[in-house]
Amino acid sequence: MSNLSQFIAANWLLCAAFIIMLIIYFVYEFRVASAGRFNLQAQDAINLANRNKGVFLDIRDDEAYSKAHIVGAIHATIDTLKSNTKMLNKHKEAPIIIYCDNGVTAKSAYQLLKKEGFSKVYVLKGGLKSWRAEKLPVDAKKTVQTTTNVLPNKKKKKKQ
Residues designated catalytic: 100
According to DSSP H, which parts of the chain are helical?
Answer: 2-10, 12-36, 42-52, 62-67, 78-83, 106-115, 127-133
- The answer to whether 124 and 106 are in contact (CB under 8 A) is yes
Q: Quick check: 94 and 54 in contact, CB under 8 A?
A: yes
* 60 DSSP assignment: S
- The C-alpha atoms of residue 91 and residue 51 are separated, in whole angstroms, by 15
